[in-house]
Amino acid sequence: MGRGYSTEEMRQKLISTLENSETGMSGVEVAEKIGVNRITMAKYLKVFAAEGLLRQKNIGNVTLWFLEPGQESYNFPDDYFKITPQYLDYLIKGHENQVYSLIRNCLHSGATVNRLILEVILSTINSVKNLYDEGKIGTAEQNLLRTTISKSLQIFNQLQVVSDPKKNVVVIAADTQSLLFSEAASSAYHSDGWNVSHLGDMSSVVNVLFDIDFQKLIGKIWKQKLGILIVVVFSQTDEGLNFFADSINPIKEKSGKRMRLVLCGKISKKTKIDSDLLSEKLGDILQWSQTVFENMK
């Protein structure tokens, strides 16, 4: 690229050049400001527009370029605290494209996937639930917001990551309300190089045949039984955790210490469920998973 700029350097220069331009700038003006030739600039303007960093407006024979909202320059880790309220604000106002642009911008600015998930996404999931519980939004709006959050998580899943064939995880949601948490966990595991099998909402398969179906699935996704397989179950109820624990534990016992069961959800103090880990905190679950894997090498 012109003057030896990397793609990330060019991204930051575009942000700096256009962030205070209310009337937009032509490609020629942008090229002159940054100091690259017009042809090179034209190519990168189109690339960054496709990524959601820029938008264009044609006025006669002139194409003006604008910075999409939410594309300010961030400095991580100092700026994590800014992202959660900004993400929630875009989400509630229905600015879907700005939600996605904000996530992409954070990643390009040096934010880590797991911190974005743990500090931004999980917080927002809980905020949406609170808004619904308080009667401030209805079921239809809640579902719309949850869908947008889910699409945000897909951005993380599309990142190229080299996975370790010895790190395997199956993620299950025992009910609809746990689905987003399970998606967030799947994205976090993916970013850490795990081979993720996300089964989604499995509430419809709560029956006596589940253990047989699950054992068949394990045989397909963990054929050679390399390394470790961790099964993570998310549930909002004791009943959900109990059912999946009762179904999976016999399979786990046959596989020995290379298969582990993690339960994520709130349970009453009197309830006892057999699992290798029971925690409400995804961050603790991720750290525990990595520690168990390291100890098995």
Structure-model confidence comparison of residues 59 and 6, the more confident one: 59
Please compute Rg for the chain using Cα positions: 23
How high is the pLDDT of residue 270? 73
CA-to-CA distance for 8 and 13, rounded, in angstroms?
Answer: 9
With a pLDDT cut of 90, the percent of the chain lying above it is 67
How high is the pLDDT of residue 293? 96
In this predicted structure, the answer to whether residue 201 has a pLDDT above a threshold of 90 is yes
CA-to-CA distance for 205 and 210, rounded, in angstroms?
Answer: 6
- DSSP codes of every residue in the chain: -GGG--HHHHHHHHHHHHTT-SS-EEHHHHHHHHT--HHHHHHHHHHHHHHTSEEEEEETTEEEEEEPTT-----TTTTHHHHHHHHHHHHHTT-HHHHHHHHHHHHHTT--HHHHIIIIIHHHHHHHHHHHHTTSS-HHHHHHHHHHHHHHHHHHHTS-----TTEEEEEEESSGGGHHHHHHHHHHHHHTT-EEEEEEE-GGG-STTHHHHHHHHHHHHTSS--SEEEEEEE-SSHHHHHHHHHHHHHHHHHHGGGEEEEEES---TT-----SEE-S-HHHHHHHHHHHHHHH-
How high is the pLDDT of residue 26? 92
Give the mean model confidence (pLDDT) for residues 238-252. Answer: 93
In this predicted structure, the answer to whether residue 4 has a pLDDT above a threshold of 70 is no
Single-letter amino acid, residue 211:
D
pLDDT tens per residue across span 279-296? 999 999 999 999 999 998
With a pLDDT cut of 70, the percent of the chain lying above it is 97
- 121 CB neighbour count, 10 Å cutoff: 26
In this predicted structure, the answer to whether residue 218 has a pLDDT above a threshold of 50 is yes
Enumerate the β-bridge partners of residue 207: none
- When pLDDT is cut at 50, 70 and 90, the band that residue 126 belongs to is very high
pLDDT tens per residue across span 64-120? 999 887 667 788 999 999 999 999 999 999 999 889 988 988 988 889 999 999 999
How high is the pLDDT of residue 3? 57
CA-to-CA distance for 137 and 167, rounded, in angstroms?
Answer: 40
Mean pLDDT of the chain: 91
- When pLDDT is cut at 50, 70 and 90, the band that residue 48 belongs to is confident
| All domains in the chain, ordered by first residue | 2-67 (1.10.10.10), 80-157 (1.10.1240.10), 167-296 (3.40.50.280)
CA-to-CA distance for 99 and 148, rounded, in angstroms?
Answer: 8
pLDDT tens per residue across span 144-175? 999 999 999 999 999 999 999 999 999 999 99
Kindly report which listed range (16-20, 26-30, 77-81) carries the lowest average pLDDT score. 16-20
In this predicted structure, the answer to whether residue 1 has a pLDDT above a threshold of 50 is no
To the question of pTM greater than 0.95 for the whole model, the response is no
- DSSP codes of every residue in 208-234: TTHHHHHHHHHHHHTSS--SEEEEEEE
Quote the tokens at residue 31.
Answer: 């090229």
